[in-house]
Amino acid sequence: MNVLEAVGLGRRYGTTWALRECTLSVPAGHLVAVVGPNGAGKSTLLNLVVGLSRPSAGHLTVLGGHPAGSLAALDGIAFVAQDMSVYRHLTVTDMLHLTRNLNRRFDTAYARTRLDELGIHLTQKAGRLSGGQQAQLSLTLALARHPRLLVLDEPTASLDPLARHDFMGAVMTAMVDDGVSVVLSSHMLAELERVADYLVLLARGRVRLAGTVEDLLAAHRLVTVPADASSRALGWEVVERSAAGSMTHQLIRLPSVGSPLPPGWQARPVGIEELTLAYLRENAAAPIPTLAGAIR
């Protein structure tokens, strides 16, 4: 089953495309990292997935074919945004009651037990909780709906390293214990390298890379070659190139996994952070797509 399937998906605001020609098929059971610079279309994609926005082009289904935003889709998706979605003047108990009344399915006993284990008292005002506690409260409210897909939009951006670690530990536990699939938008590349097993890289509103981390890393190498050598002549895509005296360092995408290198060329594997940064630098100077012929 695919938890997310997009075909030609696009969303524009005025004349500017925030997301364009997005085609993805993401299988269930993964922690999907959606990465890219500010303005790349990450939040736009996630808002489309959870039904907070509607496509301007193409179509999107979730959880095995349900139209995004439909009741069947919303029943199986929980969303935690960067602002944590807590009402500062309400107590934790009030937040539980409010969330229970706004959802067709909510496990109050599960939520109370989890909050007790975290040392978050039900009588506390949400606004008096620490940033890490607010994040855990938001995550608890989401997980108490027992979703099949958990969507997280920069949920740890304002947290300290320990709070981020605890939050992601709770997410990983939910994946193991409840079989939840996760789509996570984040700038924390080093953290994603530890937890993500599926990568979607957006740049300038378009999908630049998508696939399992294992497959993507296997298809890329950092090679050191003579400055006059041409990787493109071998049919390889050069993602990034930098000079090093009489040699050049080139991050290349092989035409197929295991493609042999010419004699004398040195190559090493790359990690998620190194791969992601190379693609982002490649797209940094690209023009922002606009609606052709539109009047600003």
pLDDT tens digit string along 185-210?
988 887 788 889 999 999 888 999 99
Tokens 């606009």 locate to 290
Q: Is residue 184 part of a domain?
A: yes
Pair (134, 222) in one structural domain? no
Of 211, 241, 266, the residue that ends a domain is 211
Pair (31, 114) in one structural domain? yes
Pair (114, 222) in one structural domain? no
* Residues 96, 106: Cα–Cα separation, whole Å: 9
pLDDT tens digit string along 72-96?
999 999 999 877 668 889 999 999 9
Query: 165 by DSSP, 3-state: which?
Result: helix
Does the pLDDT at position 58 exceed 70?
yes
Question: What type of residue sits at position 274?
Answer: E
Q: Note the pLDDT of residue 295.
A: 38
Helix, strand, coil percent values for the chain (each to nearest 5)? 30, 30, 35
Lowest mean pLDDT among 128-137, 221-230, 283-292: 283-292
Phi, psi of 121 (to 5 degrees): -80, 140
Q: Note the pLDDT of residue 296.
A: 34
**If you average pLDDT over every residue of the chain, what do you get?**
87
Of 211, 235, 253, the residue that ends a domain is 211
Lowest mean pLDDT among 33-47, 52-66, 170-184, 235-249: 235-249
Strands 206-212 and 198-203, by their bridges, are antiparallel
Q: Note the pLDDT of residue 2.
A: 95
H-state helical runs in the chain: 42-49, 71-75, 92-102, 108-117, 131-143, 161-178, 189-195, 213-218, 272-283
Total domains in the fold of the chain = 2
pLDDT band at 225 (very low <50, low <70, confident <90, very high): confident
Q: Is residue 56 part of a domain?
A: yes
Query: 132 by DSSP, 3-state: which?
Result: helix
Pair (187, 251) in one structural domain? no
Pair (236, 199) in one structural domain? no
Does the pLDDT at position 121 exceed 70?
yes
Pair (170, 73) in one structural domain? yes
Quick one: tokens of 97?
Answer: 């009651």
CA distances from 206 to 56, 182, 192, 271, 295 (A): 14, 21, 20, 22, 23
Does the pLDDT at position 293 exceed 50?
no
Pair (17, 95) in one structural domain? yes
Q: Is residue 13 part of a domain?
A: yes
Q: Note the pLDDT of residue 156.
A: 82
* Contact between residue 130 and residue 164 where contact means Cβ atoms under 8 Å apart: no
- Containing domain of residue 278, as a range? 215-283
Does the pLDDT at position 276 exceed 80?
yes
- CATH at residue 185: 3.40.50.300
Does the pLDDT at position 55 exceed 90?
yes
pLDDT band at 288 (very low <50, low <70, confident <90, very high): very low
Q: Is residue 296 part of a domain?
A: no
Pair (82, 137) in one structural domain? yes
Pair (206, 230) in one structural domain? no
Sign of the alpha-carbon torsion through 91, 97, 99, 101: negative
Q: Note the pLDDT of residue 284.
A: 59
Total Cβ atoms within 10 A of residue 131: 13
Pair (265, 242) in one structural domain? yes
Q: Is residue 292 part of a domain?
A: no
Does the pLDDT at position 211 exceed 90?
yes
Pair (234, 129) in one structural domain? no
Pair (70, 172) in one structural domain? yes
Q: Note the pLDDT of residue 290.
A: 45
